[in-house]
């Protein structure tokens, strides 16, 4: 078992969560909302990882708009544990910076990369699988991804194609595949050796730093210089000056895909077949499905967050109007979300298009609604 002192959860919390507009805003994004209980998504993320590592090992990478509320929601983390990117550069520079920072202080560091807005139903099973992955990541130049057994032909997720099964049940990774069309998604589901890419990865800081130097050779020196300045008076200026020069690219494209191209038996990429009730809550429809499942309700039940409600011949609806009494009559599969300054009305089928509203608001310069 890996010593907990050497495990570092790095939580990526820079996204804007546009598909949860109007509740999600630039300064109050999805990860700081309480969508699944009383605690925010990022508070739940830290809580389920807390048994795996001391709190001083946690790092959160976010942006200027969210760092204030995140620090308030996570008061036990020190100020320096919450790093705000001066400019968004996607996941590769963010997690790469963490690798160089941690390698400087702990040569044995093992990093877990975690999105800040996922739901895990069976947290004990999650931690058990995580411990397996940490041990593998610490054992050499290994990279571990948590893959989710697909339950449907989903076109909104990336996929992991797996190969040989190793002792203990872990699978070698054959390749990563980006979001497929509907026909391909059906093929992947039928094949049985494809898993959803959860976005949760494990690797030693040394392994990731070396991979950044190999596959992102122009960006890596900037990150090394930023890490070298950490803890000094020059850090903020160095961070602001160099970070925007980093390539704007995801860790999947930057490292995982070129690593998988080395071949199944040479890439040292491994997949854990995760089965712990994972949901990334990617839309209002996904949130509806999650609440329905959690409540053990029928598939066409109503999920209504309000000060009381009445329904007549209405089913499959999601309504968020916490300050009002809500009545639903003769409607099916609609989504209604009310805030103080906006009202969203759509249906579950089109909930993935909510992000287009944010694009429109930006084009019209309606910043007060962003």
* Domain limits, the chain: 4-279, 284-369
Decide if pLDDT at 1 tops 60.
Answer: no
Q: So what's the pLDDT on residue 296?
A: 64
Q: So what's the pLDDT on residue 37?
A: 84
Q: So what's the pLDDT on residue 230?
A: 92
Q: So what's the pLDDT on residue 298?
A: 62
Decide if pLDDT at 333 tops 80.
Answer: yes
CA distance 242 to 246: 7
Decide if pLDDT at 9 tops 90.
Answer: yes
Mean pLDDT value of segment 262-283: 90
User: Could you tell me the end-to-end alpha-carbon distance of the chain, in angstroms, rounded to an integer?
Assistant: 46
pLDDT band for 299, please (50, 70, 90 cuts). low
243 vs 179 pLDDT, higher one: 243
Q: Which residues lie closer than 8 Å to 167 by C-beta, 6 or more apart?
A: none
In CATH, 4-279 is 3.40.50.2300: no
Mean pLDDT value of segment 314-333: 96
Decide if pLDDT at 2 tops 60.
Answer: no
Mean pLDDT value of segment 46-63: 96
Residue 98: φ, ψ to 5°: -60, -40
Q: So what's the pLDDT on residue 49?
A: 97
pLDDT band for 297, please (50, 70, 90 cuts). low
pLDDT band for 3, please (50, 70, 90 cuts). low
Decide if pLDDT at 231 tops 60.
Answer: yes
Report the relative pairing of strands 278-279 and 309-312 from DSSP bridges.
unpaired
Share of the chain above pLDDT 90, in %: 79
Q: Which of 88-102, 152-166, 282-296 has the lowest mean pLDDT?
A: 282-296
CA distance 182 to 174: 21
- Average model confidence (pLDDT) across the chain: 92
CA distance 234 to 346: 49
Q: So what's the pLDDT on residue 348?
A: 92
Decide if pLDDT at 284 tops 60.
Answer: yes
pLDDT band for 17, please (50, 70, 90 cuts). confident
Report the relative pairing of strands 303-306 and 194-204 from DSSP bridges.
unpaired
Decide if pLDDT at 77 tops 60.
Answer: yes
Angle between helices 41-49 and 64-73 (to 10 degrees): 60
Hey, which residues does 203 pair with through a beta bridge?
111, 143
pLDDT in tens, 115-173: 998 999 999 999 999 999 999 999 989 999 999 999 888 888 889 999 998 887 899 99
pLDDT band for 85, please (50, 70, 90 cuts). very high
CA distance 56 to 46: 12
CA distance 344 to 191: 39
Mean pLDDT value of segment 96-122: 94
CA distance 102 to 312: 57
Q: Between the CA of residue 273 and those of 45, 145, 198, what are the distances in Å?
A: 20, 9, 11
CA distance 154 to 152: 6
Long-range contacts (CB closer than 8 Å, 24 or more residues apart) made by 328-332: 328/302, 328/304, 332/300
């Amino acid at each position: 078992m890996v010593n907990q002192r050497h495990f570092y959860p790095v939580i990526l919390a820079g996204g804007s969560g546009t598909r949860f507009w109007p509740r999600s805003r630039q300064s109050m994004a999805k990860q700081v909302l309480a969508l699944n209980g009383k605690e925010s998504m990022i508070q739940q993320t830290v809580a389920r990882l807390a048994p795996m590592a001391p709190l001083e090992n946690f790092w959160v990478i976010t942006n200027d708009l969210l760092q204030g509320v995140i620090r308030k929601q996570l008061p036990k983390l020190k100020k320096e544990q919450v790093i705000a990117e001066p400019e968004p550069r996607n996941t590769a520079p963010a997690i790469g910076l963490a690798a160089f920072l941690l390698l400087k202080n702990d040569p044995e560091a093992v990093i877990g990369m975690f999105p800040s807005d996922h739901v895990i139903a069976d947290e004990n099973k999650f931690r058990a699988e995580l411990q397996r992955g940490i041990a593998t990541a610490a054992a050499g130049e290994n990279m571990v991804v948590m893959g989710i057994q697909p339950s449907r032909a989903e076109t909104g997720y990336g996929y992991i194609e797996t190969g040989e099964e190793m002792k203990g049940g872990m699978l070698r990774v054959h390749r990563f595949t980006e979001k497929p069309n509907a026909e391909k998604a059906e093929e992947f589901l039928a094949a049985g050796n494809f898993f959803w890419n959860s976005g949760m990865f494990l690797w030693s800081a040394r392994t990731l730093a070396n991979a950044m130097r190999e596959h992102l050779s122009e960006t890596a020196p900037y990150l090394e210089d930023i890490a070298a300045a950490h803890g000094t008076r020059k850090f903020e200026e160095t961070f602001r000056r160099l970070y925007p020069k980093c390539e704007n690219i995801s860790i999947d494209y930057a490292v995982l895909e070129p690593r998988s191209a080395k071949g199944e038996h040479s890439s040292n990429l491994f997949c854990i077949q995760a089965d712990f009730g994972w949901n990334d809550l990617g839309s209002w429809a996904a949130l509806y499905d999650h609440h329905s499942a959690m409540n053990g309700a029928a598939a066409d039940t109503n999920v209504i967050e309000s000060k009381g409600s009445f329904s007549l011949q209405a089913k499959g609806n999601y309504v968020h109007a916490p300050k009002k009494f809500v009545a639903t009559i003769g409607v099916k599969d609609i989504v209604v979300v009310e805030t103080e300054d906006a009202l969203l009305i759509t249906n579950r089928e089109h909930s993935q298009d909510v992000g287009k509203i944010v694009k429109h608001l930006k084009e019209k310069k309606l910043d007060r609604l962003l």
